[in-house]
Amino acid sequence: MFIRASAKGGGLVVALAVTVGSATAADWSIAAKSGESIDLFPVYGVANCRSMLTAKPEVEVLQDVPSVTLSVREDEVKPVKFNCPNKVKGGVVVVTVGQVEKPLEGEIVFRVLFQGRQGKHQAGHKLKVSLFPAPAPKPQ
């Protein structure tokens, strides 16, 4: 999501880029076992390679799959999409799988919510998941 603000007469032009990596809205698919956590993608908001975020990004789940939670781990991330040389304040969307008793497939619909200097922003996503029980420990 891109937000642009400009002032006429030679004023400063600010472009806020709120992004969630290089993917599009219907592009994520994972396979995971009980107890696993997977880093899905980085989230950040930048202008001139500086963070524009004023709060930690959050995830709002609109459609879920049993045993799966989504969260944002606050972290310094590198906005490679904008060729920024340094990491900025942001986060990583993390998928955590709870106890899975039998194989399960489904789709999660969620949005990442951002609070920046220019207000609130959001980006919607779909995540296809294939879940599997963890293998039983082998007796010794």
Structural domain spans, the chain = 2-132
pLDDT at residue 96 above 70? yes
Answer CATH for 2-132 from 1.20.90.10, 2.60.40.60, 2.40.50.140, 3.40.50.720: 2.60.40.60
Q: Report pLDDT digits (tens) over 3-58.
A: 333 333 333 333 344 444 444 444 789 999 999 999 999 999 999 999 999 999 99
First vs last Cα of the chain: how many Å apart? Answer: 53
pLDDT at 118: 84
Residues sharing a CB contact under 8 Å with residue 116, sequence separation 6 or more, in sequence order: 16, 18, 45, 52, 53, 54
Report how far residue 91's alpha carbon sits from residue 95's, in angstroms, rounded to the nearest whole number. Answer: 13
pTM of structure? 0.78
Tokens of 50: 């500086």
Q: Are 110 and 60 in contact (CB under 8 A)?
A: yes
Mean of the per-residue pLDDT values of the chain: 83
